[in-house]
Every structure is written in structure tokens, then in C-alpha cells.
Structure 1
């Protein structure tokens, strides 16, 4: 099956994952599939944005700043000398790495990614080259990254690091600080050589094991600097990297921010990162917490399209999470305790859009298992699985194992759900199929007359957090792509074409 990609309203070729050496074996001895095996199994991770910006909680000199709170230095145009004073106020004695990791594990998360350095240039570890760090510049005097690495080891979670390689509003050569005229400007290459590169090397050599390195906001860097940073991935065997180092540095997986794509991109690993509330960093008075139902359905939706869900939480200045976040993580954990088999190790749904919910799938030893996630319980209790052709199926409710009747109905299968509706954000039916089966293909973008409908809801939007990026507004036939004010943003449409032709 051919795959075409329309990018920025032009047809082009998507860059694939790197394959080094013979048969895709990289310099560290791992193939791409070997690196990604545990990650594909995990499906669910915790993102943690934390830094000295949490001291202000998104407020500066009596003003509540817009957007995410970790951008406060930029949005408030705070001079470096003034911003540095926040470090003296950062003393989160209430932070306990084991508590965070246990909470992530209880929620069903399999990995944790922490912001080692965000755009403000403050290092949350004992940097050898940057005195503006949590050990040397704060009364806390503790290495937060070290504590989290050790806690993840104790509790069996994979650990990853976020690092802002280009934007650094504290270093004279870092990208992004356009307001502080007191900075003695130097080149971006000098910043990379003095700070970014040695810090990345230190993180990948002194804080092992690191499973993921998560770059962010690629911009304004020379090819030489990018190559230098890209080469650090070999310092940790099996290290997974994302696609945000720079153009033509695809990493191991793609990232989508705040928005779940309508269809998962085929042939690549991908992840959706999203804050549990409205802001990545702690924001005082943030009331935009997503409901437990939304969070669980997001997890299911992403898994049904073959992706991972990286859910962000933001500690306060005292090192704890708000009750709203803890309650939601506990509730997700309760759902996962019953239904995790329908998430871990699953692959994308074989169906198109389902009216009643989503589907995940597992295939093993000639048997296929479909996990039917019911968002909207049918009024008559009859769950129709469209376009499925199979000889023998067995169905039961995943929560208590109750068998449910299933029968072929034309080109569909009809499952009769129990009379009593489940009190759950998502109810799961486990459908086991023996032998051969098929699903009628669905291509919502390719029209009968050969035209290709590049609908807004089928687009993948690429924008940088903190910028005024694009988004899909409206739904259905009324959907459109709007607020396109970020010059770095772009749009793409992957299109499935079953046979050669003119389109």
C-alpha cells in the first residue's frame, strides 16, 4: 500500500527512522525495533515539568501571565539577573521522588520523563558547567534528577529526560531571549559547546540508566551543533530519542503536542504529550484540569491509533502535586487495574471511526484479540462491530469475565451487552477471534472520483508550544485550521492509496 504525505499544502516525502549499519543495527547494537519494544508495550507515561518557575505559579509583579507558566520568564520579559533571584526562593523540602514514582506506577504508567533543563536555562541536576542549577543555586541543595533516577530504579519504571537544547533564555548564546539587552551575546554554537553539549553528555554518562532523551523546540542551530548533539545518543545503549532535535533528525518516534491526531501515522512510532491541566508548569489558580473520563478516553483513543500517551503533571514550589492531579491519577489507576490488558502491548484498531468508541488489538499464536472500548452505551444494548468478517468469535466483559452473546449480522458482528450499564468512563468488551478474519477497508480521505479530501480533522498539526500555534476549530464538515500565526508551524496529511493511479 502506498503512502503519500501532503505537507504545508505541498506533496513531499516524510523522513523515516534512521537505520545504521547492516540490517538496521545501530552503533549501540540495537535495531530500531529492539529499542522500541518496551516503549510499544508501555503505552502510558508520566511527564513532569518542574523548575524554579513554580515559585511564581505563573504570576509576576501582580500580573497573571498567559499560556503555560513555565514560559513566565519569556512572557514577563524578566531580565536574567532578576530571574536568577527565584533560585534562592526554591526550597521544595516536601518533594519525595519515591512518592512521585509510586504515584505514576499506581496510575498504570510505565515510564517517567522529567525536565532536566527547560527554556529558562535552569538545570534541575548538579551541572558541571552551569552554576545556575538546583544544587548550587538553591537552598534545597539536592540533585532532583539523581533522586528520580534512583526512585525509578527502585520501583521498576523506565526513566527519561527532557532537555531544551536550543532555547535557553539564561545563556548569552541560547535561543529565545530577545528582551534582556544586558546579555553579552555570543553565537548559538558557543552556547552548545559551553553548556548544552557538556550537560547532555553529563546526563547520559553520570545518570544511567536513561531510557529516553526528549529534545524540544528545534530552531536556529547549525548543522555542526545538531550533529554533535545527535551523536550523544550512543552514550546510552538502547536510548530512545524523539523528533524534536532538528529538521532531518527524526529520532525514534514522532511527537504530537496537546492534540490527538484523527488517525495515527502508519509505519512510525508516535506519542501524544499533554498536560493534565491547562499549563505544563505549575500555574496558580489553574482550573483547566481535564476530567477523569477525558483522561481515560484520551489514553484509549491514542492506544487505539497505535500511539503512546505522555501525561504531564506539574509540582508546586513545595514539591507536591495539587489534589486535583492526585485524584485523577488515582482514578486512572483504578480503571487500569481492571482494564490494563486492553492498553499494554496493544496495536492500532483495524477499524475506521467507530460510532460507539474505540478498539485496540493484540495478535499472538494465530489468535486475534480485539478490545472494544465502549464510550457510548447503545440504547438497545446491541454493539455493532462494522465490517468484521470472522468464522468464530468469543466475547466477554473484561471487568468481570461475564460472557456476552455475539452473532454475525451481514457484514458486521453484533454483540449483546449486559442489561445493566457499567458505571465506568470506558467499558471494555474482550473479543477473541480464532483463525482468519478481515475488516472492510475505510478511507475517509480518498473520494470515489479520485480526488483527495484534505479535511482539517484528518490533518496532523506541527506547532511549537509557547508560540501562537495552529489548531483545528469546529467539527465535522465545519472543521477548519485556524490561528496559524506561528511561522514554524506546518500541516501534513498522510493519504492511503490502495493502487497506482491519478489522484
Structure 2
């Protein structure tokens, strides 16, 4: 399991709870990765590197004596704190997180405790964090800092520099005492109130050390949040992996962090920019799943923000300015699962339906038990939408909306539904009007033929620990329209890490047993497909003859041993996202 995932709730003080509430209501933040790595900009010794720009020192094993020379070249005369904070406001981003120190160990602020910083080691000789702190206060944006507490390739005791230093001689406690704690104190005392410290990559640090860092931050500023990547489940909120979107609704506080292209730090040759449509939809999806959206820019070495980044943030901002009511201060969807047509957020007695595509005139939402008193387009409140609520023969509540005359526009159209009370829904999967049935792992119940299963579902909604063939997953769903269905298993993996396929799966459903190896039959297109592939395996077909309750059980009869290429986070047991049933057509 990713160590940035909270394992259990930490004790929340009133000050931290108030900070967490403010952070949740903000929903949208600006991430900034800026440092010496913006000088080579993804090119080393004439070669365009394929990896993320800020990891160049590690990937190329650049000696400290060589990397330090970048500091003498760093003179970002085009840095404009007021313009950057204004850009965040234009995008609708209400907090800002900037790299105070990344893994290369270089401090992007005036650090009295360590001379390897932008004021003392560069011709710029100015503290950009002071400028940002002033502008954030002036423009009403919450200032936050990123700080790499574990990986530091400049300090002898920091993690993961084995080309300059002897790993056997490293002393993490000494590194924390000499560098981490003094610099955290500087960040928390030199710039006024800080919304959060965004820690990262807790690969070598112990639970005791993570706890000590957390306590130190809270002592300096009790209301300052600690990100999930402090490690060991000790954060105030959780963070999925970079550019990862969980498949279903999350419990507790979360934050999806994502790039505008494929790098965090500036790379001169990365022009694969995400579309504004995808960015808006990712913001909506994050909010619907109980997560904030932290969207990154990587300024150039001269301090300017790439024009493509500015254009996309402003485009997102135009949508947010008109539709912010459906994002800011919202709670997640009352449903655990997604919908083929879009996503839902809530605010008290209001549901916001976010449509990613144009629905049919007679739209149907299944499973909402609460009475809907009115429905209008968010941007045209005088257009009253026709409402019908019934209960079908299975006991499933059906909401039908007559959408005649409603204009649907990209990237997202929002309908506002006012309810008689806070929404309540039928739990579990329900067949969609298009006939499909999606069974998320998060909606399953793990079991075992004997004893307690080692298999479990992670807080992000994936299977983990599936090492015993006696373990299984059970689903209970509601079918409204019987028929013949193609059954698929959906698995996932991070794009740079091995896929855990080849296991033999067995599905029991509809009085039939389907058995097949998990193969890469095709890949599902979705917004984060470039980072976390979702791979479909066609298992065969089943026939459901009656409407009403439907059960499905998934076994793995043969589980292959994990490959030697062990990833950073996952245990390499099969990562099952869902099982889905699609109506079979002979045409």
C-alpha cells in the first residue's frame, strides 16, 4: 500500500480541524515545481531525457559538485509573484503549494541554517517565497510549501544519493536534526500562516521519524496541515499516487495531484499538454470523489510560466468562475460509484449533476431515494426541468428528468437539483439505463473459503494482498433489465511499473462459471490512462434471466509469483479495479 494513504485517523486538534475544513472547501489548488532542474530543462549532455525533469540529478547520477554549478546560472529575472498568484486566482485555485526544497536539496528560499539556497548561492540573491507570501496575503490565496523530508541528494545523510555518499554511513536522525527540522522551522516562522506542508516520497524514513516531523510542524503552527506523504498513515489527509484517479468515492480527506503535461519540473521538450476539457473534468471528478485537485505548473529557469500552462489554467478558470458553486465547499457524490454520463457533487440538500456528454432527452438516475423538489440548469435557473420519480418492480427508485430545451456544452454542463432533505441512496451497484453493470472492487466484500481473507480493499478502492487462491470477492447488485452480458475484469498498473497479469480468474454468476487467464484484451480510454492503464480481460458471457438482486463471485485459481522488478508502492498482487457486465449484442 502507498505509505501516503492514511491507515487510521490521526488525532485532530481544533486548529487542525479548522484548517482541514478550509482546505476541503477550497477544492482546487496550484502546485508549483521550480528549482535548479529548470535550467537543464530535461536535456542532459545533449540528450532529451524521457523522465520527469526534476529527477535528472538522480536518474543521471550527477555528482553534487557538477549539479551545484547550476546555482551560479540561476537568475530568474522574469519571476513575478504577483502574476503567479493572480494566475491561480484566475484559474479558481484557492491555495498554492510551491517547492521550498525538492529532492535535489536546494532551498528555493532564504535558509539561514543551510547556505545551499537561492539567496546565498545564486546571482538572483532574492527570496521568492517572501514575494509569494506577500502576494498570497494580498490576493486571498493560502500559501503552502512542498518540502522533501526524506529524499535529499545533497546532504550526506539524505536518502537515495549513493553515487556521492556511502549508504552504510547514512544517519537519518542526523539529517533530520541538521537540515529538515531547522528548515521546517524557517518555513513556518518566516512567512506568516502556512496552510500546509506538502511532504513527499517517504521511502526510507521510519514511523517514529515521521511522527516527530508531524509533531514539530504542529508545534510551530497548530493549524498547518501535514500531507499524507509524511508517511506511515500520519498525514491529515491522503494522496493517491501522482496523476492517479481512484475508481470510486473516497472516505476522508484526499488530494489528487496532477501535471499539465507529463513533467512536474519544466522540460523544454514536453509539449504533450492536457486539454482544458480533461482538466475541468478531472477537477469535477476529484470533487465528486471527495478529493481536492492540486494542478501543477513548472516555471522556466527565468521564472516565467510557459504560455501553454497559462492558457490552460485560464481556460479552466473560465469554467470554474461560472460553475464554482458546484465545486467549492461541496461534499462528494452520495453514490460510491461513477456514472457513464458524468459525476455528482452535493451541498446540503442540493445535488449537482455534471454531464460530460449530452444525454437523451429523457434522462434517468437510478437509486436516489430522496424527493427532488426542483431541477434547473445551473446557468439558467429560470428553465424548470420536468421531474418524475417512481419505484420499479425491483424496489429501485427511478428519477426521470425531461431535458427538452436544455443546452449541453463542453466541457461540462451542470444541472442543479434541490431535494426535500439531504440525499440518501440505495447502496451498491445498480444496472445503468444503458444496460451496463459496473462492480467496483470498493463495492465488493472480500471472503475466504476458510478463515479470514488476506485479500483486502485499499482505501483507494483496489485489491491488495491477493496471494491465496482460497480468497474471493463477492458483489451484490440490482438488475432491472435481464439479458445476456459480456463479462470483463478490469485491472490496472502504473505505466512505469509491471502489470500483474497472467493469473487465472474464475467468475461465478448467473448460474454459470467462466474461467480464463487475465490477459490484455484491450485498454480502456479515460483521463488518466497515460499514467494508470485500465486493462480489460474478456471472460465470456453470462445470461441473467430475472430482474432483482444479482450476485457475482470472483476467484483467482492460479496466482503467479510477483516479478523481480518490485515497484515502489504496490505489493504486486493483482490490482483489480472492477468487474463489469456489458449488454451482449449479436449484431
TM-score (norm 2): 0.73
Correspondence 1:342 to 2:326 = yes
Correspondence 1:438 to 2:424 = yes
For 1:398-419, what per-residue CA distance to the aligned partner results, in whole angstroms no more than 9, with x for missing partners? 1222322222243211112244
Determine which of 391, 413, 437 is the counterpart of 2:399: 413
Q: Which residue in 2 is equivalent to 1:429?
A: 415
Q: Tell me how far apart the structure 1 counterparts of residues 176 and 495 of structure 2 sit (CA, whole Å).
A: 22
Aligned partner of residue 370 in structure 2, secondary structure: strand
Unaligned runs of 5+ in 2: 392-396, 430-438, 465-491, 500-530, 540-555, 578-587
Correspondence 1:391 to 2:371 = yes
Q: Which residue in 1 is equivalent to 2:385?
A: 404
Q: Judge conservation of contact 2:133–2:143 (CA < 8 Å) in 1.
A: yes
- Give the count of matched residue pairs: 469
Determine which of 168, 189, 192 is the counterpart of 2:173: 189
Change (3 A) 1:263 1:483: farther
Correspondence 1:124 to 2:124 = no
Cα deviation for residue 376 of structure 1 reads: 1.5
Q: Tell me how far apart the structure 2 counterparts of residues 125 and 77 of structure 1 sit (CA, whole Å).
A: 25
Determine which of 186, 192, 199 is the counterpart of 1:202: 186
Change (3 A) 1:59 1:96: same
Q: Tell me how far apart the structure 1 counterparts of residues 447 and 209 of structure 2 sit (CA, whole Å).
A: 45
Q: Which residue in 1 is equivalent to 2:534?
A: 474
For 1:195-233, what per-residue CA distance to the aligned partner results, in whole angstroms no more than 9, with x for missing partners? 111111111112221110111111323556434322222
Q: Judge conservation of contact 2:19–2:195 (CA < 8 Å) in 1.
A: no
Q: Tell me how far apart the structure 1 counterparts of residues 156 and 576 of structure 2 sit (CA, whole Å).
A: 40
Aligned partner of residue 146 in structure 1, secondary structure: helix
Aligned partner of residue 369 in structure 2, secondary structure: strand
Aligned partner of residue 18 in structure 1, secondary structure: coil
For 1:67-96, what per-residue CA distance to the aligned partner results, in whole angstroms no more than 9, with x for missing partners? 110001111211101101111111111110
Larger radius of gyration: 2
RMSD, matched Cα: 3.3
Correspondence 1:237 to 2:229 = no
Change (3 A) 1:73 1:448: closer
Q: Tell me how far apart the structure 1 counterparts of residues 32 and 380 of structure 2 sit (CA, whole Å).
A: 34
Q: Which residue in 1 is equivalent to 2:510?
A: none
Q: Judge conservation of contact 1:173–1:186 (CA < 8 Å) in 2.
A: yes
Q: Judge conservation of contact 1:44–1:109 (CA < 8 Å) in 2.
A: yes
Determine which of 459, 463, 484 is the counterpart of 2:462: 459
For 1:97-144, what per-residue CA distance to the aligned partner results, in whole angstroms no more than 9, with x for missing partners? 110011101111110000000000100001112211101111111101
Q: Judge conservation of contact 1:71–1:466 (CA < 8 Å) in 2.
A: no
Correspondence 1:374 to 2:387 = no
Q: Tell me how far apart the structure 2 counterparts of residues 145 and 340 of structure 1 sit (CA, whole Å).
A: 28
For 1:269-296, what per-residue CA distance to the aligned partner results, in whole angstroms no more than 9, with x for missing partners? 1111011110000011112211101000
Correspondence 1:156 to 2:133 = no
For 1:434-487, what per-residue CA distance to the aligned partner results, in whole angstroms no more than 9, with x for missing partners? 2475321115345699789979994189x9x99858774334556999999444
Q: Which residue in 1 is equivalent to 2:52?
A: 68
Q: Tell me how far apart the structure 2 counterparts of residues 114 and 437 of structure 1 sit (CA, whole Å).
A: 38
Q: Which residue in 2 is equivalent to 1:246?
A: 231
Correspondence 1:292 to 2:352 = no
